[in-house]
Structure 1
C-alpha cells in the first residue's frame, strides 16, 4: 500500500462523511417542514487493483437517497385546505415554469386571486367537476380557483307539493268566478302561498288557489303575488299556471295531472311533483319543498376524502367545484428532487399515473390535516455523532500518512 494511496483513501473517507453530515444537516433543518422526506447516504467500496503481498487501498463512494415514498404521521389543523395523503399518491402542483410537479406538502392557503398555494409557493392543480381526466397525462388539469364562486344564486327548477283537499267542500259552478278568470269577485275554496327563486336569487312568492268545481274535480291556479291588488283579485297579470285536478272516486287519490309546471317570472320553469296529493274527508293541508335559493356568500371550502372540493355557502347549500386528483409513479424514490419539497418524474422513476383518491391503489385525502416530516431528531443526532467520529478517524489516518511521507522525504535528504 503506497502512502499516496493511504492519503487518497482517507481523503475519500472524509469526503464521504462530509456528504453524510450534509444530509444530517438538511434533515435537522427540515424536522418541522410539512411533508419533508429525509435524505440518507449509502456507502460502497472502491477497490483498487492489488497483487500478492501488495495491497492497494481504494476508498469509499457515497450515494445520496431521499425516501420520497415513505409516509409519516399527521397533525390536525383548523384549515380545511390543509391536506394530507393517507396512503399512496402525491398532490399535483404547478411547478417551475408552470410544469406540473408532485408533492406531499399540502399546506394550501387561498391567495388573493383565489388559487390555493402551499408554503413553498406551489399552486394546487385539479379538474373542474365534469372533466374526464387522463390516466397518464396532465391534460385537463388547471389551477384550483375558488374566487369565481364567491356568490351564488340557484333558480328554482323542481319541487314537491303535497296537499289534501277537503272532500265535503262546496263546488263553485260559475266559471266567471273561478280564480282562473282573474275577476275581482273570484271565489275559491283554499289558498296557500309558497316561495320560489328566480335567476337573480330573488324570492318570488306564489299564490296557489284551489277551487272545487265538481265531484272529484278541482281547479288550481297559481299567480305571482307581486301582481296582486290590495284585495288579491284581480291580479295585474294572468295566472302563471292553471290545471284541472281529477281524483279517483274510490281511493280519492289524485289521478291527473301528476305534476304542475309554473314559469317563475325572470326565472326557470318549476316542475312540481303533486302525485301524492289526495281529496279526503279531512281538513285542508299543504306542504311544499322547492329547490333554489337566494344569493349567498361563501362560508367555507370543504374537501372530501375522494378529493371533491365543494364550496359551502352561508345558506348551508354546497356546490362541488373541483376534483383534486392524486399521482403515482412506479419508483417514487427515484424522482428528481426540486426545491420546495416537490418532485419531478423521470425515466428512472417511471411515468406518472393519475387517478381519483381512494381508487385503484391511490390513498385517500385528509382535510384539516398535514403530513409531518419523517425526520427522527434522535436518529439524526446519532448519525451526526457517528459521522463526526468517522470523519475524525479518517482525518487521523490522513495525518498519519502525511507524517510518514515527511519521514520518507527526510530520509532522502
Structure 2
C-alpha cells in the first residue's frame, strides 16, 4: 500500500505544481495588463490516515490565492478619461448583452466590478474601457442633482447647450464726483436673447446738479439709438447715505428702480423686445449706502470695475472630463460645463472573495459581502486619481522565484514516480 500511496501522492504533487505553474504563467503574461490582480498559490495537504503508530501518505492540492485587494502602482496617462483608484474599491461596470430592435445597446443585468480604468467614449457616447466594460454611475438631472437610488451605465449626451437669455446684469463702477454738470459717460454691455443672439445695450450717464446723475438705457445700432428709458441716481448725504454711495432712485421713465434703505439691493429693471417677446432684465448696482457696486467718488474719469451678465450663447459639445470627486462634466465651446453624473467607488467586506469573470472584472459573492457604493474617499472607499491608470500588481522577480520553486518541486515529484515505478518492478521480479 505504501508504494501505491507514494505513487498517488507524487502524482497529486505533479498536478498541484502544474497548477501553480499555470498561475505563474498567467501572472507573467498579464504583468502589463491594466488593473490585473495576480493569483498566488496556496497548497493544502490531504491526509488519509494518521495516528501515533501509523501514517499513510495522502495527497496535495493547489488552491488559488487571490490578491484583489492588493493595489498596483499608479501611473499618469495621456487619456483624460482614464481613472485609477488609490485605496480600496472598484468601478461598477456592465457587460453588453446585444442590441434592441432600434439598434441600441442592451446590457446584462449583472453588475461587475473592475480596477481597469482605461475608459473612453465609444461611438454611442458610453464610457467604455479597453476590455469592453461600460462604466456605471449615478446620473444627474438638468439641475445637477444626483439620483443615488441606482447605478446606471453612463451615456454622454453630446447635444448642444441651449442658450440662456440674459436676465441680470451686474455693474461695479465709479462715476467721477469732480465731473462738471452735463458730463456724459457710457458703458456698453453685451446681452443674449432667447435664441442666443448677442445684442449691445448702452448705459449712458449724465451728470446732474449736486450728487445726482441720470441713467439712460438705449440700444445702439440705429441713429439715434433706440431709447429704453431713464432714471435718476441720487448719491450721498442728500439721499441719506454715506458720501459717494448710492442712496435712492427717482424720476423713472421706462425703467423701474428698487426701493429700500441702506443695505438693500439697488436694482434698475427694464424690458427689451428682441423679437421673441419682452425680455425682462435687472441691472444690479450693488446695495444702497454701500461702496460695493455703483459709487460716486473723487475723480474725473468713469472707471468700470466689472460688468457682467448671466446670459449664455448656444454651445456645441466640446469634451468630457471627470473630476477628482467623481463628477462627470460635459464641456461646451461656449465656456460652459454641466455635471451629468458621478462615478462612485464600490467597496466590499472581503474583496479577495470576489468571483473572477476574467482577470480584470469580478462578480460579487456571498463571501465577498454586498457591494457598497459610496462617494470618493468616504466609508472606506479610496481616492480617485484622474488621467491615471493602475498597473498590474504582479512582481516579475517574485514570479520568477515561484517559477523556480514550482519547477524544482515538479522535478522532485517526477523522481518519486520513477523511483516508485522501479520499486514496483523489483517487487514483481521477485516472483520470477
Answer whether TM exceeds 0.5 for this pair. Answer: yes
Aligned equivalent of 1:274: 285
Contact 2:186–2:205 (Cα < 8 Å) also in 1: yes
Contact 1:152–1:297 (Cα < 8 Å) also in 2: no
Given the superposition, is the C-alpha separation of residues 101 and 154 from structure 1 closer, same or farther in structure 2, using an over 3 Å criterion? farther
* Paired residues, number: 386
Matched, 1:285 2:312: no
Given the superposition, is the C-alpha separation of residues 200 and 401 from structure 1 closer, same or farther in structure 2, using an over 3 Å criterion? farther
Matched, 1:345 2:356: no
* Pick aligned residue for 2:245 from 243, 246, 253: 253
Quote how far apart the aligned CAs of 1:217 are: 4.0
Aligned equivalent of 2:342: 323
Matched, 1:164 2:174: yes
Of 161-170 and 323-332, more deviation after overlay is shown by 161-170
Given the superposition, is the C-alpha separation of residues 232 and 125 from structure 1 closer, same or farther in structure 2, using an over 3 Å criterion? farther
Q: 5+ residue gaps in structure 2?
A: 97-107, 249-257, 259-265, 287-292
User: Aligned ranges for residues 6-405 of structure 1 at < 5 Å?
Assistant: 6-50=6-50, 54-95=54-95, 97-129=108-140, 130-132=144-146, 134=148, 139-148=149-158, 151=161, 153-167=163-177, 168-170=179-181, 189-212=184-207, 215-225=210-220, 228-229=221-222, 231-233=223-225, 235=226, 239=228, 242-248=230-236, 249=238, 251-256=243-248, 257=258, 258-263=266-271, 265=274, 266=276, 269-275=280-286, 276-282=293-299, 283-286=301-304, 287-339=306-358, 341-405=360-424
Aligned equivalent of 1:183: none
Contact 1:306–1:357 (Cα < 8 Å) also in 2: yes
Quote how far apart the aligned CAs of 1:48 are: 1.2
Quote how far apart the aligned CAs of 1:133 are: 5.4
Given the superposition, is the C-alpha separation of residues 159 and 88 from structure 1 closer, same or farther in structure 2, using an over 3 Å criterion? farther
Of 265-274 and 332-341, more deviation after overlay is shown by 265-274
Aligned equivalent of 1:179: none
Per-residue CA deviations over 1:259-308 (Å, capped at 9, x if unaligned) read 23455645964433212212345333334122344334444433222112
Of 206-215 and 191-200, more deviation after overlay is shown by 206-215
Contact 1:120–1:340 (Cα < 8 Å) also in 2: no
Aligned equivalent of 2:102: none
Of 49-58 and 361-370, more deviation after overlay is shown by 49-58
Of 103-112 and 257-266, more deviation after overlay is shown by 257-266
Q: 1:69 is paired with a residue of what secondary structure?
A: coil
Contact 1:84–1:106 (Cα < 8 Å) also in 2: yes
Q: 5+ residue gaps in structure 1?
A: 172-187
Aligned equivalent of 2:261: none
Quote how far apart the aligned CAs of 1:13 are: 0.7
Per-residue CA deviations over 1:106-131 (Å, capped at 9, x if unaligned) read 00011111111101101111223444
Q: 2:338 is paired with a residue of what secondary structure?
A: strand
- Aligned-CA RMSD value: 2.7
Given the superposition, is the C-alpha separation of residues 13 and 369 from structure 1 closer, same or farther in structure 2, using an over 3 Å criterion? same
Write the distance in 1 (CA, Å) between the matches of 2:125 and 2:36.
26
Per-residue CA deviations over 1:156-190 (Å, capped at 9, x if unaligned) read 3434212333445536xxxxxxxxxxxxxxxx933
Contact 1:305–1:358 (Cα < 8 Å) also in 2: no
Given the superposition, is the C-alpha separation of residues 289 and 66 from structure 1 closer, same or farther in structure 2, using an over 3 Å criterion? same
Of 259-268 and 104-113, more deviation after overlay is shown by 259-268
Q: 2:413 is paired with a residue of what secondary structure?
A: helix
Write the distance in 1 (CA, Å) between the matches of 2:51 and 2:90.
52
Contact 1:113–1:147 (Cα < 8 Å) also in 2: no
TM normalised by structure 2 equals 0.81
Contact 2:36–2:359 (Cα < 8 Å) also in 1: no
